[in-house]
A = this chain, B = another copy of it.
Amino acid sequence: MITSTTNPQPADFADVRATNLAVVLRFVREHAPCSRADIAASTGLNKATVSSLVADLIDRRLVRETGLTENRVGRPATMLVLDGSPYAAIGVEVNVDYVTAVAVDLAGERLLSWRRSFPGPDGSTGQAVAAVAAIVRRVVSRMAKQERQVLGLTVGVPGLVGTDGTVLIAPNLGWRDADLAGDLAKALRDPGFAVQVENDANLAALAEHRFGSQAGTANLVYLTGEIGVGAGIILDGRIRRGGRGYGGEIGHIQLDPLGAECRCGRTGCLEAVAGIGAVLRHAPLSPAEVEIELDEVARLARAGDARTLGLLAEVGRQLGKGVAVVANLLNPEVVILGGYYVPLAPWLLPAVEDEARGRTIAPEGGGCRVVASTLGYDAAALGGAARVLDSVDSGRLPRVS
């Protein structure tokens, strides 16, 4: 009848070293340039241990000594920074008519960001795998020319992705029960790095958590602003996916039983009343046409067109209801609006915040702020790369070559 709430593994001495390597790596990530003495002082590890760990990280080319020294009392200290020049982490986002690829180095600096057209819902899963594999091969080849080892690849997909990486359903892509990770690894012919698949909203949340304007916020919810709306939920510093990995489906929470019909067949879903489709004058066609329409909406709003301003305020109020659900249930520090919400944020945000505060039982919305993403269109792909860096930071270090 009694079970434990957590089940950490025992810490044997090999684990101690791996844990401490990760601790030192993260310290350098956050505090570079820094000296071995700084690391010892802040982590509580003794100096001999720190020297040994740093030597190991230098061997792996994760950390390097700079020419710089810091003059302290006593002899000058050699300063350390992240190296990572021999590494790259790759993230890919698959969407209806494009695929985006991003590569970053160990420090998170962007090495490339590519966008290519994609077969989309008319193509088969096989075609999709081939298209993704093609762009990944080109990224890997580019990285090889820079003599970088690929640390891993994460592919983001708009849909329900199980905890095992299987795509259960991606409605806009027409996929069902697709083993994308397995098929992709096969198409890449055993590439020598891990291939993972993840929900796109989860990846965008990871990108915000590592690279965005709210980086490091422990409790953060990202809302994708596409025709569909999904949430990436970070609580206590980690993505929370739920039991099967299907969490974050905020788009089909009913906000208004009398609201517009949703693509899912229900009525008044958040997606139907507060998704970007509710802003468009026409039934959405291709994403390219959506962008053109939204440019026009933003132009009218800037010009003070009353009908447009009223529409954006109404969509903002509906979205605020959705944010209130999140604020009441999860009490995040911040909700970040992404995708097509970003260019409309100046007109949406006041209504969103006002409505959300009025509907949250904790005073001042429980401290929850609402902001627009600053990461741009490749947030999910960038999050794929962030997920690879997360696994390095938690101790899965590349082997010494």
Pick from B11, B244, B249: contact of A15, CB under 8 Å: B11
Pick from B107, B251, B329: contact of A253, CB under 8 Å: B329
A182 CB → nearest B CB, Å: 21
> A5-B238, A394-B6 are known contacts. Are A250 and B11 too (CB-CB below 8 A)?
no
Q: Which residues in chain A, 253-282, are within 8 Å of chain B measured between CB atoms?
A: 253-258, 264, 266
Quick check: A10 and B45 within 8 Å, CB to CB? Answer: yes
Stretch at the interface among A22-30, A111-119, A125-133, A188-196: A22-30
Which B residues touch A331, using CB under 8 A?
241-249
A255→B11 CA distance, assembly (Å): 47
Interface range for A: 35 or more
Interface string of A194-229 (1 = CB under 8 A from B): 000000000000100111000110110000000000
Which B residues touch A209, using CB under 8 A?
5
Which B residues touch A67, using CB under 8 A?
none
A258→B256 CA distance, assembly (Å): 9
A330→B250 CA distance, assembly (Å): 9
A216 CB → nearest B CB, Å: 4
Q: By CB atoms of chain B within 10 A, which of A13, A242, A257 has the most?
A: A242
> A3-B210, A5-B237, A16-B11 are known contacts. Are A242 and B215 too (CB-CB below 8 A)?
no
Q: Give A321's nearest chain B residue, CB to CB.
A: B254
The reply on A97 being an interface residue by CB < 8 A is no
Which B residues touch A367, using CB under 8 A?
243-244
The reply on A178 being an interface residue by CB < 8 A is no
A7 CB → nearest B CB, Å: 7
A189→B377 CA distance, assembly (Å): 59
